[in-house]
Amino acid sequence: MTLTQQIVTIAMVVLGTLLTRFLPFLVFPPGKETPGYVRYLGKVLPAAVFGMLVVYSLKDVSVLTGNHGIPQLLAVLLVIALHKWKRQMLLSIAGGTVFYMILVQVVF
Amino acid sequence: MRRISEKGKFLILKKAFLCAFPYTIPIFAGFWFLGMTYGIYMNVSGFSFWYPLLMSMTVFAGSVEFVAVSMLLGSFNPIQALVMTVMINARHLFYGISMLDRFRGVGRKKIYLIFGMCDETFSINYTAKIPEDVDKGWFMFFVTLLNHIYWVSGAALGGIFGSFIQFDTEGLEFVMTAMFVVIFLEQWLKEKSHTSSLAGLGISLLCLVIFGSENFIIPAMLMILAALTLLRPCLEERKGEEKQ
């Protein structure tokens, strides 16, 4: 690829990303009444999206080979337990991550 | 139009920054790790550090930037690059729909808030409990800006130092998973009906098993959309019970 072709390729990636981020705001501008269905989606989608992001962040875990996802499972359980106990975002995240690092570096 | 003195404005910004910063600490860890990994990947693929630096700045969407490396190494095909990017980033459409109301009335910052709305930034800006006396527009601006800075600096450092960086940080990538679990949990604890949370989790898992890790997001999004549309009569009734 020439430099120009590289710049065009990167520009396409930028354009595609901008498109996915700006489209809802362009289709439903603040001046116009947003349809009830879209407002409904805006309210119920986030909960589903957070569930999807949890799965997305674990998508490359292989359950059938290697550690069978056991370190991830244990660490996720610890994050949940810590968060239910203290409900301190940083503590839950740091605790779970350090625990996971120990598991994959030392135990497994 | 409100007129605010220079000092007053500075205090508003300072307060919003101090409120936003703690929320971004886990993302700092995750983005430096992932950003450096990305920079190193570009470095060993034969690109100078300008590539990860400029790409992380202009694209600011992690997963597609990794894919872009193989696009740059392959043959020139701009249409395919565009289509692939839209497919990988399609989930951002959901973020936009969810933020239509929240980004209202934040002024010109809105453009940057939309530009910088990656998974992590969206999750924080949607769930954070912003105190009454903190300007929510500036809070979201600083969350976005700090995350952007972490990502770009991580990618640039990885690109500069490349394979010289020694990895004793195995497992650090889990910080992103841990953050998404906490955000899911926060949503779970504050909602009355768990239908949408469970639908998102269950459908994504099902699609992951059926379609595999490379292709599951689009079918999952379509099925979530279908499920929420079908459930609208009962979910909307439930919503009415909550004080909004």
Rounded to two decimals, the ipTM of the complex is 0.92
Q: Where are the domains of chain A?
A: 33-107
Contacts 24+ apart (CB under 8 A), B105-111: B105/B137, B106/B136, B106/B137, B106/B140, B106/B141, B107/B137, B109/B137, B109/B138, B109/B140, B109/B141, B110/A25
**B182, B191, B183, B196: which is closest to B243 by C-alpha?**
B191
d(CA B72, CA B50): 14
Q: What is the DSSP letter of A32?
A: S
Each residue's pLDDT tens digit, A3-42: 999 999 999 999 999 999 999 999 999 888 889 999 999 9
- Residue from A55, A58, A87 whose CB has the most chain B CBs within 10 Å, to mutate: A55
| Contact present, B123 and B143 (Cβ < 8 Å) | no
d(CA B192, CA B242): 8
Q: Which residue of B has its CA nearest to A38?
A: B97
Each residue's pLDDT tens digit, B125-164: 999 989 999 999 999 999 999 999 999 999 999 999 876 7
Nearest CB to A45 within list B98, B189, B194: B98
Q: Please indicate whether, in this complex, the C-beta atoms of B100 and A89 are within 8 angstroms of each other.
A: no
- The tokens describing A103, both together, are 């598991």
Each residue's pLDDT tens digit, B219-239: 999 999 999 999 999 888 654
| Contact present, A96 and B181 (Cβ < 8 Å) | yes
d(CA B211, CA B115): 30
The pTM for the full model equals 0.86
d(CA B232, CA B178): 31
d(CA B7, CA B147): 26
Q: Please indicate whether, in this complex, the C-beta atoms of B186 and A89 are within 8 angstroms of each other.
A: yes
| Contact present, A16 and B89 (Cβ < 8 Å) | yes
**A28, A104, A79: which is closest to B170 by C-alpha?**
A104
How many other CB atoms are found less than 10 A from the CB of residue B181? Answer: 26
Contacts of A56 in chain B (CB under 8 A): 91, 119, 180, 204, 217
Each residue's pLDDT tens digit, B38-52: 998 888 888 999 999
Nearest CB to B117 within list A21, A43, A87: A21
- The tokens describing B102, both together, are 């929240």
d(CA B200, CA B92): 15
- Rg of chain B in Å (alpha carbons): 20
Q: Where are the domains of chain B?
A: 6-170, 191-244
Nearest CB to B201 within list A23, A55, A105: A55
Q: Which residue of B has its CA nearest to A12?
A: B82
The overall average pLDDT reported for chain B is 90
Tell me what the mean pLDDT of segment A78-94 comes to.
93
Tokens 């309210």, residue located: A43
Nearest CB to A16 within list B82, B191, B198: B82
d(CA B23, CA A26): 29
| Contact present, B175 and A22 (Cβ < 8 Å) | no
pLDDT at B14: 96
Half-sphere exposure of B95 (CA within 13 A, CB side): 28
User: Letter for the amino acid at B78?
Assistant: P
The helix or strand, by DSSP H or E, that contains position B118, with its residue range, turns out to be: none
Contacts of B175 in chain A (CB under 8 A): 93, 97
- Residue from A97, A100, A101 whose CB has the most chain B CBs within 10 Å, to mutate: A97
